[in-house]
Every structure is written in C-alpha cells, then in structure tokens.
A and B are shown apart, each in its own frame.
Chain A
Amino acid sequence: MSYGIKDFKLVSESRYTPGKVVRGYNMRTLHLDVSSRKATEKPVSETMKQKFVGGKGFGLKLLWDGTKPSTRWDSPENEIVIAMGPICGNTNYPGSGKSLVVSLSPMTGIPIDSNVGGYFGPYLKFSGFDALELQGKAPSETIVFIDGNEGVIRFYEAPTDLPRDTHLLAEVLTHAFAASDDPSDLQAVSVVSAGRGAEHSPMGLLNFSLYDKRRAGIRVKQAGRGGIGTVFRDKKLLALVCRYRGVEQDSNGAADPAAVQRIGLKLHREIVVNDDKQCKMRKQGTAHLMEVMNDYDLLPTKNHKYGQDPRGPEIASWVWEKLLSQNLPDGCWFGCTMACAHAVDKFELETGPYKGHKVCVDGPEYETAAGVGSNLYIYDPHGILEINFYCDTYGIDTISFGTTVGFLMECWEHGILTKERTDGIDLSWGNWKGACQILHDLAEGKRFGVLAGRGVKFLSEHFVKEYGADPQFMRDIALHGKGLEQSEYISKESLAQQGGYYLTNKGPQHDEAWLIFMDMVNNRIPTFENKAEALHYFPMFRTWFGLQGLCKLPWNDVEPADNAKWKEPNKVPEHVANYRELYTAITGEPLDWDGLIVQSERVYNFQRAFNIRQGRGHRAEDYPPYRAMGPVLEDEYEARAERYDKQMKEKIGVDPAGLSVKEKIRITREYRMKQYDSLVDAVYKRRGWTPDGCPTPEHLKAIGMDLPEVLEVVEARIAGKI
C-alpha cells in the first residue's frame, strides 16, 4: 500500500512565514478551523506568557477562550489544543520532547490534559508555533499537513481507501509526506492519528508518531487519557502531519545554549551511570515497576480487588526485559537517554484483522501491563502485548480499557454479565482473547464492543437499569472519578494516594501525585496537614512539567547517587535545581523554587475554575468509589483480615473479636470515609479553596491568577449561581 501526496485531494492551502524560536517561544499560535479549512495565526501576548507559561497552560487558556460553558465534547466549537512549552524541543536535557494535549473530554465533560512524546510537538514548535488549536468539524475525512520548512499549511481530503488504524496509517502518511525516502527525510515527518476504535468509544486516544531509523519503521506514543482521539475523529480529522527538517542543538533559541548543554550532559551522565543500579529504565522502561508493586500489594489484580498475586512474577520486569528489544536508544524525543520507550519487535498477532502479521508493539508500559494484565488476571505476556497493540492501533486508551474490562470481568464473575449479554464473549478472569474480542468488536462498531467501550461510569449505571444490578455494588467497583477510569495503582491502603487520585482536576490519573510509598510504606506524612501539604506540593510541582513540555520520568526515575542526604529526598532537590537552571538557560528569566510552584499554581487553579465554569468542580465529584478506599466484599476483607483487624483495633479503637465480616467491613468503611472527608477539608484549605472546592478570590489574587474572567466564575460559584 503506497500513496503519494498527489493521491490526496488538496482543498485549501495557506502560507506563513516560518518561525524562529527565541528563548523557547515563537510568541504565536496556530488556529485551524477544520470546518472552513482555514488557518489563522494568533499572537501570544506577554500576559499570556506570564500567566500561562506554555504547554498545558497555553492549552487550557486557548480552550477556555474557544469554548463556552454550554460546550459539549462533540460541539463543533470544542477544541483539541496541542501545546509545547518553552523547554520543549531542546535536545540536551533528557525528557524534553513532550506535547500537552487538551480538550473537553467525552469521558468527563471537563478539560482533560494528556502528556505525550513523539516528534510532532517539537516539529510543530520549530515550524513556528507554540500551540495548535483545532476547532470545528470537517465536512469530509481530512488530513492537515504543516510544512515547517516551507511555511505551508494544507488541508487534504483523504482517499476513502486509506487505512484508519494507526500502525498502517502513520506508516503510509510518513512515506507520502516525506521529502524523499532518505531516512533523515522520513524522520523529519511526524503524524498524529487515532484509529477505528476511537470512532466508536469515548476512550479514544491520539498516537503521535516518530520515525525510527534503526527499525526503519513507525513508532507511536500515546496521548491516552480522556478520549481526545474521540474528539479528533468526531471532527473527521484522519491525521495531522508535520514535516520539519533541521533540528539542531539550538533550535530552541536558548538564552544560554552552553548552559543547556552543561545541564543536559550532567543528567545524561547520571542516567548512564545510575540507571542500571536504580530503575533500569534503559532496559525495561516503566515495566520495571511490576514486581515492586506486586510485592507491596499495590499491583491491581482483578479490578483492583487485590494488590498482589502469586502469579505476579510471570509478568515481572525480567520477563519484559527479555521480550523488549535491547541496546537501542528508545527515546521518545532526541536526547532522552532515559530511553524508556521500548518495543517488542516482530511480534506475531494471534487474533483480529491483523492475525498472522508480525508487528512492532510499543510498550508495554507499566500502566498497560498492570491494567490489561494483572488487573484482568492475565499473566500471559503474549496476551498483554496483543491487547496493547490493538489498543494503540485502534486508538483506545489502555488504562481506561483495562479498568473497564476489569469491571466487566468482575460483573461476569458475579453473574451480572453472561454470554447472552456479551454477544458470546467469555469474560472469565484471565481470558485475554475475550478482551481482544471486545476490542475487535469495538473497532467494527459491533454492539457489545461499543457498549463495553463506553467506560465504567456509563456501564455501572447501565447494568443497574438494564440488568437490575445492585446500585451500591456497581458504584463501589466502578473505578472512575468524574467519568475517567482510575489508573493502575492500588490506592486502598494509602489515604494520601486516594487524594492523589481523586482530588485531581481531570480525574484519577497518577500524574499529579504518587504518594503511596511516602504515605503507606515510609510513613513520612502521618498527619492530615502533612498529607495536605504533599497534596499541594506534588500536584503543583508536577503540573510544571506540563507547562514546559517536559517528561516527569527523568525527575525521579533516576536520582543523584547522594539524593538521600538531602532534607526532602522525595522532591529530588538536585533535579529541581536542574530544572530551574534549565528554565533560565532557555528563557533567560530567573526562577526560584517558589516561583516554579506559583507558575503551576496559577494554571492549576485556572483549570479548577474551568471545571467550575462548565458547571462542575464540586466537592462531591472529588470522592473515590469505595473499591479505591477499602475492601468492598467479604472475601476481599478476609484476604487481608489480619491487616484490617489490626487497623480496627489500633486506629479505629474497636475490638474486631466476635464481629462478623460484614460488620467489620461496615466499621472500616465508615472510618475510612470519615478519614477521607477530613483529608478533603485539609487539602482544600491548603490549596486556598472553599469547603466545596472552589478557589477563593483572595487566593487567586495572592497567586496572580485574578484575571477578570476567572474571578467572575469563582464569584458566581461562591454566590451559588453556577
């Protein structure tokens, strides 16, 4: 299958002056109206730069301006914004190639943000734009092409026979739009695409490609969470293609390029020396976590019912290390020596439309191996890889899919689902072929596949209505917050992590805070105030990566050898110092540690206000389903009876002797709910929010996010008007 540009029908073309990045910024963004197929440049104001910094900040700001309180995910005016940030695109500091993608989510109805690698973002930035807005709906299947060297934007109508699944589409388009078949020309092209699954499910994702010269093929990284791929397909966007040749050490126009080199080289060296003794990211990627989580009872097993299983070692890191191709520099952007973006090559598929094909599977990352592995009681690495591959190529988020199928399998175990209801698919624990069948049916638009793809919030309500399932049980085991499925850590035994998941702006994703070890294992944050402080600091700190276009992993998945000697080793102070220096080296602006937190705090509170503007963001939405907080079922309690009984005695002050399991579950639950309540109070207070979770005008003033439109929203909420 081979296409050239001539095979695509050109429907509009506009020209612009190619950009030059100065100190990390182009100071302009690109707006594409997909309906009229028009391209417009927008300037970035000093205020926008000061208040929103870049990346996720720019994304949210543009999304806010482009939408209304009444905008739904499938309204034409909903946008997908891809934004980079000032640090994004430098080649020296590992982890500097991330794009932040925001949109109003089909899963939650509020803004979602997703952080993704691949070459598209940096190429777009060097093409002259700090962000790209996609708005409107195309009249027919559309491909947008941005040629960053020539300064041309073209809209094409896609031929109807073009494949829609990513592993084929991205390959075809890379070759079609590359200046030649020279590997460096192929590497100069990056494609954003979804897949057929995203056309039928709200959990659609976007794949961002990178051409891998060594494999002579396409690799993809995912903007996975929250259904942005679904919005993309709803806009009849088939693909975005960006072509940019000529990335250099100083394409980012740094204020002090030599300092960028120095700071980057320091971390390169640290990774080269320490990684093999620490996380082994260069060999295993994030899958290095598998046995650690299983050992600490934190690896989701059977829809997060348990955190451990004797079969855990069957999908441990050493298993993945053997399967993942070794000794390749698998970074998702140039210069990431952490190189965690591994792949299993020449993997032969056993099911579905590509059965018998040998493919390259990107991953699995930890979240995937846990979500569609242990969580489904699948311990066959082949099964995990097959689900991983099909999720990616169909454009389906592995985290939402894993959590959803876990829920479905538990419903199957309890007889809520039967073969009659699943169109014949057997959803017994461990049946990876059943999970794959759901995916294939979803991609084909078949009934049960499409139903399953709607996610646990919808399904848990649907099963009550249609099959008379117990509403409380459904609510308890449907692992979502605000409509978004929880990612793959057991949060039951860590109150702080329950907050880390559910006191988030977008829904339970671990990218805001991961506090389980600090809280549960090392007991470093025992009081509510300690936990609240952590639930202030870490979400703010980690938001900063998204403002800059950075990856979180090189922050603490490698540490300086002497990290433990610092007062707060969990913050990895030396790396925070690197970031501050790097920011200054690129932008020329000084930044102290507090200033870094304030940059994030502004955007974080803006996002909260955005939720409120959409009529959401109430306290009630910040509560977890009980499965995320404690044992729901009797066998769940009994499997950890010793732990729970001990807590009952020591923490709750009730003697468990003689009590029935049912009674003990009730007491534990009551206690834990109260604990969570107190946690919410403490966190809101620390964040400068009202007891209903609304940023106060005073707090917004104090952090410099008192823009009139934001104040208007929070004042209306406080007055009870929205």
Chain B
Amino acid sequence: MIKYLKTVDEKCVGCMTCTAVCSKLYFKEDNPAKAAIQVQDLGAGKFHLVVCDQECRKCVAECPVQAISVAKNGAVMIDKKVCVGCLACVAVCPTGAMRYYPGLKHPFKCIACGQCAKQCPKGALELAEKEESPASRAWADAIAKVREE
C-alpha cells in the first residue's frame, strides 16, 4: 500500500495554510517556496494543488546515488546524508512535486506526514492509501533485472 496526500482542488480556497504548516515544520519559516506542497492560483478563484503522488517514483529510479527510497508506508523519501544535490530528481519529476530552493544543498518533497491535512480549513487535503501499480514498481524491476541472483 502507498500512503499519500490526496488533494481536492475544488475545495481549495488558496488560504496557504498548508504551505505555512509544511514550511514551518521542515524549514522553521513560513515560506511557500520551502513547502513540499504548492498552491497554484489558476485565477477566477480556482486553485491547483501540487504534491507528490508517491506512486510514479521516477525520482527513485533516477537518483544516481540511491538517496531516494520508498519507506515502509510507501512514501518516497530522500536521505540527505546520501544525496549529492544533483537535482536530477527535480528534472524528472513529471509534476514539479520534487522541490528545490536556490542555494539549499538538497531537494525536498512531501513525505505524506499529513500535518497540513490536519489544519486545512476546507478539507481539501487528506491522507489516503492506494495500491501499488506497475509504474510504482518499475524502478525496482529495472534493478532486479541486472542484479546477480
């Protein structure tokens, strides 16, 4: 099973509570550029929430030093002790959910901790679970093929 942050764009009013919660929790400051979730203003009172789906795992496949792995709960996590800061993961992420901040040594992303969901006043976020899919296993399949038995 994969734990992930489920988003409902229709319920989002752009209050930025989630970005504040996230950036304060992990960077000790209220700065949307340092939040793992992004709120995109589409105009006309509409918003789009961007956050890792924990399923595509393209970054896991791409990291040259295997600093990115899949945790027991299915969330995709970066090990900062191993990461060399190349930002390849940022480039391959199809949704822009893998984040970086200029000058910071490591990228960052949502780890499905759910703190933002607890405080979203509109219920636009919730922690949810989903099944593994072929895409979510592709990175591991590629490795299995080349490993000596």
Contacts and interface: CB of A to CB of B under 8 A. Distances in A.
A358 B146 CA distance: 11
A249 B102 contact: no
A380 to B, nearest CB: 23
A618 interface: no
Interface in B53-75: 61-66
B92 A272 contact: yes
Interface string A177-195: 0000001100100000000
A268 B105 contact: no
Given A184-B82, A216-B148, A261 B100 contact: yes
B91 A272 contact: yes
B118 to A, nearest CB: 32
Contacts of B139: 327
B65 A265 contact: no
A652 interface: no
Contacts of A707: none
Contact of B85 (A92, A327, A345): A92
B84 interface: yes
B102 A258 contact: yes
B86 A91 contact: yes
A328 B138 CA distance: 10
A390 interface: no
Nearest to A91: B86
Interface stretch (A127-135, A330-338, A461-469): A330-338
Contacts of B142: 214, 325-328
B82 to A, nearest CB: 6
A19 interface: no
B6 interface: no
Scoring B65, B86, B143 by chain A CB atoms within 10 A of each residue's CB, the highest score goes to B86
B61 A327 contact: yes
Contact of A248 (B64, B84, B87): B84
Given A249-B86, A264-B87, A329 B63 contact: yes
B103 to A, nearest CB: 4
A91 B146 contact: no
B62 A265 contact: no
A560 interface: no
Given A91-B85, A92-B85, A183-B66, A262 B102 contact: yes
Nearest to B85: A249
Interface string B80-96: 00101111101110000
A169 interface: no
B106 interface: yes
A633 B87 CA distance: 54
Interface string A85-99: 000000110000000
A346 to B, nearest CB: 7
Closest 8 CB pairs of A and B: A249-B85, A335-B86, A268-B91, A258-B102, A327-B142, A91-B86, A258-B103, A345-B146
Interface of A: 91-92, 183-184, 187, 213-217, 247-250, 257-258, 261-262, 264-265, 268-269, 271-272, 325-329, 331, 334-337, 343, 345-346, 358, 360
